[in-house]
Structure 1
């Protein structure tokens, strides 16, 4: 059932309705920025009108405060976002710097290790080369001595009529050295040679050391250049202590070659 008002009985809006409309109008006017231009003439009309519009001014102030709080909150959120972005950027930069520093440290370590390895290998090569040279070097059989009887000297002292080697001046008991690297093939009594040692050298030649007072090596033993193999003496067919030295192409008597040329050919100054 519908109710209608009687014709001609129009009534003004209630106070509550008027207040509601005012607040709604304030919201609209505040959003469009025309509150000041619309409200000012009405507020200036009369003191009574100003008194009645007090709620409007309060609503405007409340709207301004709300807008300020919203703006402040937005500013705070933006500042927080900017701070977070700056922090993330700084952390990323720090991580990049740390990574690059680590890479440089690893590269420096690798270079240092490679350098140390190269130096170590160079030292090892040098040591091997020095040892190779030492083992392939030749020395005089008696240090600081000289040749007292030359090769092929003639005399009735030798059964063949000539000297098959050279004699080095050496007092009895002087140290006798292997002239080079080789293997002992004879160590013992050698008849006219007395106590003697024969060494097969690494180049295939042979060297003999005679008239020794004592022997320091045995057959099958490997010797190196400068190694002491015995002591000089006067055993066998001699007139006094000395070292008889021969160079040979074979292990037996009669295969002798010039010992001076042999030693000089191997770098020994005699």
Structure 2
């Protein structure tokens, strides 16, 4: 039996009938499924995908590329800033270290200069000379004659001084005698650094001992009237050796060393 279509035409029947659109769609779907199952679809699909418009043509990649470029620039700028900061910090530390070294060198030079000045001042002080009694004067001169001296003349000079007046070493040296000296009473003998010997006689008390080093102006005792005297005073004598009789003019000696007597 034959069916009639909407146009009034008879549709063919039998195996030679042309398939309808629904049938063709169903068949095509079945074929795609079969191809997919066999793996052929992947091969066939590649050309079809290749035929799609390139991504560059869509404008997506340029935008991504531009974003990457900006990010790289930012990273590079950040890295440059970090490097610059590190270099600035290194320069700052180097400058601080250099300043510290300069300050240390300056302080060391100043310290050395002060030490040199102190040593020089001490050297000058040790080389200086003072009067044996401050503010006094010579009451009996050198080589004055008289029967009171066993040699017939005065081997030193007498400085006017009340009993208990401070007596000073006239220069730097070492005490070689400190005690009773016969006619000289209590005495102190000092060998000065220049090799001469100075004697301080008729002391009421002694303030140093043998072997002790003394400096210019150091108190070594107090004046008095011990020994062969007629009143308190200081007998001061200068000798070239430790032996009696090697005396020299004490006033001339002191004046040659800058002492005003």
Q: TM-score, normalised by structure 1?
A: 0.75
Give the one of 134, 140, 150 matched to 1:143.
134
- 2:165 aligned with 1:174: yes
CA distance in 2, matches of 1:74, 1:97: 34
- 2:82 aligned with 1:83: no
Give the drift of 1:26. 7.5
CA distance in 2, matches of 1:124, 1:176: 31
Give the drift of 1:93. 1.1
Partner of 1:3 in structure 2? none
Alpha-carbon displacement from aligned partner over 1:208-257 (angstroms, at most 9, x marks no partner): 00111111122222222111111101111212111010010011221100
Give the drift of 1:82. 0.7
What SS class does the counterpart of residue 244 from structure 2 fall into?
coil
Greater mean alpha carbon deviation, residues 116-125 or residues 181-190? 181-190
Greater mean alpha carbon deviation, residues 76-85 or residues 180-189? 180-189
Residues 69, 192 of structure 1: alpha-carbon distance in 2 compared, 3 angstrom cutoff: same
- 2:110 aligned with 1:119: yes
CA RMSD of aligned residues (A): 2.4
- Spell out the pairing of 1:248-263 with structure 2 (5 A cutoff): 248-263=239-254
Give the drift of 1:148. 1.3
Q: TM-score, normalised by structure 2?
A: 0.77
Partner of 1:55 in structure 2? none
CA distance in 2, matches of 1:21, 1:199: 125
CA distance in 2, matches of 1:189, 1:165: 18
Residues 125, 24 of structure 1: alpha-carbon distance in 2 compared, 3 angstrom cutoff: closer
What SS class does the counterpart of residue 153 from structure 1 fall into?
coil
Shift >3 Å, 4+ stretches: 20-27
Partner of 1:160 in structure 2? 151
- 2:238 aligned with 1:247: yes
CA distance in 2, matches of 1:108, 1:91: 25
> Which stretches in structure 2 are left out of the alignment for 5+ residues?
1-27, 29-45
CA distance in 1, matches of 2:251, 2:134: 15
CA distance in 1, matches of 2:166, 2:158: 15
Give the drift of 1:23. 9.0
CA distance in 1, matches of 2:223, 2:243: 21
Give the one of 76, 81, 96 matched to 2:87.
96
Give the drift of 1:21. 9.9
Alpha-carbon displacement from aligned partner over 1:79-120 (angstroms, at most 9, x marks no partner): 101111111111111111111111111111100000011111
CA distance in 2, matches of 1:265, 1:80: 92
- 2:122 aligned with 1:131: yes
- Report how many residues are paired: 219
- 2:187 aligned with 1:191: no
Give the one of 175, 195, 198 matched to 1:207.
198
Partner of 1:71 in structure 2? 62
What SS class does the counterpart of residue 120 from structure 1 fall into?
helix
Partner of 2:256 in structure 1? 265
> Which stretches in structure 1 are left out of the alignment for 5+ residues?
1-15, 32-62
Residues 175, 97 of structure 1: alpha-carbon distance in 2 compared, 3 angstrom cutoff: same
Residues 23, 92 of structure 1: alpha-carbon distance in 2 compared, 3 angstrom cutoff: closer
